[in-house]
């Protein structure tokens, strides 16, 4: 049996009430919290690295592995990096801050503890699902690299790698898959976007509820759709492990019916594993958007200037856009706001390209590989930096004027705009050509180096009092947005891997 056959992709159709006890038994690793699972994956990468450096490998095997070592090491390092990132993001303090910040994109009114727990639970599911998708892809890559090395089936190194790394990784991945799926069931993701219920305790222990399907049905009065995570949320590559290539080829004569395009979610992935990462997927929540729309009737003013102050004037193009993008006095707030966003998206792209020195010919591929999630983050940051895009409304008996960014409307607009303006402008062969991504990454890396040097110079200029009692890293973290640009940092995080 080849190592690749031991790392299946995310099979998503195994859950039923009949297997509930078996599924709960798979979740033992979560009983002490989320980090135990991350630590298990990290330990498996360390075991793999130790085996590859041990005396178990003979000279012939070492030579066969030589061409694959760089790829194996890259995948192992990626798994470790993902673990570090998830550990930070899933920290209770970080989650609470994130949930508090995002609360009013899901609920109106004052913050309630139970609803805040729902937002935290939803964010945790999102983080774990993205981690699952990527970590399975990494282990698949490791298994495939061993396949390509053509090491003898009976060799000791093959036996040990399979038994002490790849098979445990499969079991750990299965535990994570089941846990994420059960979280999704509590959020009712099988029927569409997440649904809140005041009757559900949105916490880790609830995932262990016996007969979870029946429990959810009793609360929501029955479920529609398939009772599992929707495969359309994952890439086709990730639904098939390396060991299923033959089955995939044999099914070519009877192609599966393509999944319908949902208005609320976007799959902008390509046909290769590297452009099927979470960067290329995006969605909004229609129910949250409906709550935003309820506020539109009370809107009395919208900030829709294009930020054409001197520091934002970068080209004649931006000046032209800023002159024509204004909300009229029509009552259709949403339609006019969408028009404003379409103009603002172009401003975001043009300033970003100028800031990181992307040539005009690479405009479309730059936006495509940035991905809709990073583009959303970039748009929000630009709106905040330029102090525009806010809707002002009367609240609390019309006596108080408040303002808000319609985040879910922005997400919905990005999805529609991405389909017509981005995907139709980038042919499949360009999306899947790594040379284009490398060209973009090199340009971003070059600008990052230039701005890093300037940041070091700025750090040197600081008085000793500003650096007293703080580490160099803390000082840089506090000042990085000013020294390198908050919007640039979003682009750097998307395209550049942090140093080990």
User: Does residue 348 contact residue 358 with C-beta atoms inside 8 Å?
Assistant: no
- How much is the pLDDT for 372? 93
Q: How many CB atoms lie within 10 A of CB 72?
A: 21
pTM for this prediction: 0.51
> What is the spatial distance between Cα 240 and Cα 250, in angstroms, rounded to a whole number?
13
Tell me phi and psi for residue 450, to 5 degrees: -65, -45
For residue 250, pLDDT over 70 is answered with no
Mean pLDDT across 317-323? 43
What pLDDT is stored for residue 179 in this prediction? 93
Reference 165, options 52, 62, 32, 81; nearest CA is: 52
pLDDT at residue number 220: 77
- In DSSP notation, 80-129 reads HHHHHHHHHHT-HHHHHHHHHHHGGGT--SS--HHHHHHHHHHHHHHHHH
- Tokens describing residue 453: 């040097």
Residue 149 has pLDDT above 50, yes or no: yes
Coil/strand/helix, residue 281: strand
Is the Cβ–Cβ distance between 66 and 149 less than 8 Å? Answer: no
For residue 327, pLDDT over 70 is answered with no
The pLDDT tens digits for 214-243 are: 888 888 764 333 333 332 333 323 322 333
**Residue environment code for 447-462, b if the CB has 16+ CB neighbours within 10 A, otherwise e:** bbeebeeebeebeeee
Mean pLDDT of the region 131-142: 91
- CA distances for 165 relative to 3, 41, 118, 139, angstroms: 10, 9, 35, 9
- In three-state form (DSSP H/G/I as H, E/B as E, the rest C), the secondary structure along 320-375 is HHHHHCCCCCCCCHHHHHHHHHHHHHHHHHHHHHHHHCCCHHHHHHHHHHHCHHHH
Question: pLDDT (tens digit, 9 = 90+) per residue, 165-179?
Answer: 899 999 999 999 999
Neighbours of 70 (CB within 10 A): 10
Partners of 401 in beta bridges: 394
The ranges assigned to domains in the chain are 3-227+236-242, 286-431
């Amino acid at each position: 049996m080849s190592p690749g056959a031991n790392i299946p992709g995310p099979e998503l159709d195994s859950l039923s009430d009949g297997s509930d006890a078996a599924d709960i038994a798979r979740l033992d690793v979560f009983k002490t919290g989320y980090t135990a699972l991350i630590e298990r994956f990290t330990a498996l990468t360390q075991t793999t690295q130790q085996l590859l450096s041990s005396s178990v490998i003979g000279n012939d095997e070492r030579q066969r592995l030589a061409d694959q070592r760089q790829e194996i090491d890259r995948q192992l390092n990626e798994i470790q990096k993902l673990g570090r990132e998830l550990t930070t993001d899933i920290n209770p303090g970080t989650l609470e801050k994130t949930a508090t910040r995002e609360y009013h994109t899901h609920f109106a009114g004052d913050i309630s503890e139970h609803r805040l727990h729902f937002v935290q639970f939803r964010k945790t599911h999102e983080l774990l699902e993205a981690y699952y998708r990527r970590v399975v892809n990494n282990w698949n890559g490791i298994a495939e690299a061993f396949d390509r090395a053509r090491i003898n089936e009976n060799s000791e190194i093959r036996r040990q790698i399979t038994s002490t790394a790849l098979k445990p990784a499969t079991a750990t991945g299965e535990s994570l898959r089941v846990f994420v799926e059960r979280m999704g069931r509590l959020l009712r993701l099988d029927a569409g976007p997440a649904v809140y219920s005041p009757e559900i305790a949105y916490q880790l222990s609830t995932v262990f509820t016996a007969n979870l399907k029946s429990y959810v049905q009793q609360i929501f009065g029955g479920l529609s759709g398939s009772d599992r995570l929707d495969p359309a949320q994952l890439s086709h590559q990730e639904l098939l492990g390396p060991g299923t290539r033959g089955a995939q080829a044999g099914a070519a004569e009877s192609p599966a019916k393509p999944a319908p395009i949902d208005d609320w979610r976007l799959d902008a992935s390509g046909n290769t594993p590297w452009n099927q990462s979470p960067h290329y997927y995006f969605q909004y929540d229609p129910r949250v958007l409906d709550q935003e729309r309820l506020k539109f009737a009370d809107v009395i003013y919208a900030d829709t200037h294009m930020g054409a102050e001197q520091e934002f004037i970068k080209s004649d193009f931006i000046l032209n856009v800023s002159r024509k993008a204004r909300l009229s006095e029509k009552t259709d707030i949403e339609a006019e706001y969408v028009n404003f966003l379409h103009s603002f998206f172009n401003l975001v792209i043009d300033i970003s390209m100028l800031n990181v020195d992307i040539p005009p010919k690479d405009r479309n591929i730059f936006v495509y590989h940035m991905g809709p999630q990073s583009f959303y983050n970039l748009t929000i940051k630009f709106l905040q930096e330029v102090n525009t895009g806010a809707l002002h409304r009367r609240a609390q008996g019309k006596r108080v004027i408040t303002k808000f960014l319609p985040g879910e409307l922005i997400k919905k607009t990005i999805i529609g705009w991405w389909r017509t303006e981005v995907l139709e402008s980038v042919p499949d062969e360009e999306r899947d050509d790594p040379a284009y991504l490398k060209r973009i990454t090199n340009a971003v890396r070059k600008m990052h180096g230039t701005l890093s040097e300037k940041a070091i110079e700025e750090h040197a200029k600081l008085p000793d009092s500003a650096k007293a009692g703080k580490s160099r890293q803390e000082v840089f973290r506090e000042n990085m947005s000013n020294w390198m640009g908050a919007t640039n940092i979003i682009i750097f995080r998307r395209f550049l891997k942090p140093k080990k």
